[in-house]
Amino acid sequence: MKINIFLNIKKGAYGGGNQFLKALKEYFLNKNVYSENIYDADVILFNSHHQVQELIKLKKKYPEKIFIHRIDGPIFLIRKNNRHLDKLIYNFNDKIADASIFQSIWSKQKNIELGINANKKNTIIINAPNPQVFNLKNKSFFNTNSKTKIIATSWASNLNKGFDTYRFLDENLDFSKYEMTFCGNSPYRFKNIKMIKALQSGDLAKQLKKHDIYITASKNDPCSNSLVEALHCGLPSIGLNDGGHPEIIGKGGLVFNKDEDVIEKIKEIELSYLKFKEAIILPNISEIGKLYYDFIKTVFEQKQKNNNKIGVFDVLSLYKSIYLQKIIKNF
């Protein structure tokens, strides 16, 4: 069984989905189960709503292949103006996908609330980063005699990525006791927080390892790849009590409900730093890759047994979908 990831994966610094799928592709390549050629692949793993026109053509051309849908969002909760995009994704999921993969319990529940077909074969698998890059090697020690070093990161500059909270910290954190760095793209210019442009994965990991605590205030984030990367680098983390953050952080950090709570959460982690650091338990890419492979194999074997194919009529009806037309205009 050979797998193809149908996404134009970027080589450099990019969004979380891109970075995760890049690591997953490397895992499949190392296991010799990956095909760069779609024709030779038995399974096509596609991501959310990307490249919808091309996928519809592929489904029509290769109805015997397995199509696995890695679902994001709900996007409506992130962008607030794209309800039609989620409807497209759900329609797409019904007519194209043989099975679905959600990134968190929260994401599955919210997508069901907004209308996705809960009866479609599915599973929940979180993300993991490249272990050759995001690891504990050369992680700096927490020094109680110097300033506590805090970091936040974001590829996207969307306000929902937590920038109001970071601006609150910029104005209220005691910078005689703390240092804070923001790495990535921001809609704000901070006065006290050190700002660094978006970095390649290797340089980002080095930057993370220089710090003590990671903070994310992103809203409605199903499975923050930035948070996962920080935890794999050994940083106890503080996250907004929203989205998939509580599931990912577990006992390796704390969650907050409003900006005014963040500074107290920082102090709480400082007081029991090693306890939080040692409580960080996340699966690595080998474990996550195996979960993907095992789930895909189960779907593959089941479809072979049932010899179940989607009809051309269903594909054409999807192609003519009003939601598809709306999203095409946005690309």
Residue 63 has pLDDT above 80, yes or no: yes
The answer as to whether 87 is a domain residue is yes
Confidence class of residue 308 from pLDDT cuts 50, 70 and 90?
A: low
User: Of 261, 278, 295, which closes a domain?
Assistant: 278
Same domain for 31 and 100, yes or no, is yes
Q: Where are the alpha helices (DSSP H) in the chain?
A: 16-30, 52-61, 75-79, 83-95, 105-114, 163-172, 201-209, 225-232, 245-249, 259-271, 273-278, 285-306, 312-319, 322-330
- Tell me the pLDDT tens digit for each residue of 102-114: 999 999 999 999 8
Evaluate if pTM is beyond 0.85.
Answer: yes
Looking at residue 34, the DSSP 8-state letter turns out to be: B
Average pLDDT, the chain: 88
Last residue of a domain, one of 258, 278, 298: 278
102 and 152 in a single domain? The answer is no
Rounded mean pLDDT, 135-159: 94
Q: Is residue 141 part of a domain?
A: no
Q: Could you tell me the CATH number of the domain that includes residue 215?
A: 3.40.50.2000
Per-residue pLDDT at 40 exceeds 60: yes
- What value does the CA radius of gyration of the chain take, rounded to a whole number of Å? 21
Ramachandran angles phi, psi of 313, nearest 5°: -60, -45
Alpha-carbon span 229 to 207, nearest angstrom: 12
Together in a domain, 152 and 44: no
**pLDDT value, residue 288:** 96
Q: Tell whether 217 and 250 lie within a shared domain.
A: yes
Range 272-297 burial, b when 16+ CB lie within 10 A, else e: ebeebbeebebbbbeebbebbbebbb
User: Do 225 and 305 belong to one domain?
Assistant: no
Residue 73 and residue 223: Cα distance in Å, rounded?
A: 9
In a domain, 133, yes or no: no
273 versus 54: the higher-pLDDT residue is: 273
Residue 43 lies in a domain: yes
Nearest to 163 by CA among 193, 129, 128: 193
CATH code of the domain in which 100 resides: 3.40.50
pLDDT band at 53 (very low <50, low <70, confident <90, very high): confident
Whether residue 201 lies inside any domain: the answer is yes
pLDDT of residue 304: 82
Rounded to 10 deg, the angle between the 312-319 and 52-61 helix axes is 160
**Beta-carbon neighbour count of residue 160 at 10 Å?**
16
Write the pLDDT tens digit of every residue in 201-250.
999 999 999 999 999 999 999 999 999 999 999 999 999 999 999 999 99
- Pair 94, 60 in one domain: yes
The enclosing H or E element of 241 equals none
Q: Is 138 helix (H, G, I), strand (E, B) or coil?
A: coil
pLDDT tens-digit map of 161-210: 999 999 999 999 999 999 999 999 999 999 999 999 999 999 999 999 99
Domain span including residue 207: 148-278
| pLDDT of the residue at 52 | 78
Q: Is the CB of residue 201 less than 8 Å from the CB of residue 107?
A: no
Dist CA 22 CA 44 (whole Å): 15
Among the listed ranges 24-28, 59-63, 227-231, 247-251, which one has the minimum average pLDDT value?
59-63
206 is a domain residue: yes
| Residue 167, phi then psi, degrees to nearest 5 | -70, -35
Nearest to 212 by CA among 196, 234, 192, 193: 234
Order across the sheet with 99-102: list the strands.
3-6, 43-47, 66-70, 99-102, 122-124
Give the count of domains, the chain. 2
Kindly state the percentage of the chain with pLDDT values over 70.
Answer: 89
Regarding whether 293 and 228 lie in a shared domain, the answer is no
In a domain, 137, yes or no: no
Could you tell me if 100 and 36 lie in one domain? yes
| 164 and 269, same domain (yes or no) | yes
Report residue 149: phi and psi, to 5°: -100, 120
Among 43-52, 78-87, 119-128, which stretch is predicted with the lowest mean pLDDT? 78-87
Average pLDDT over residues 45-53: 82
Q: What is the mean pLDDT of residues 34-42?
A: 95
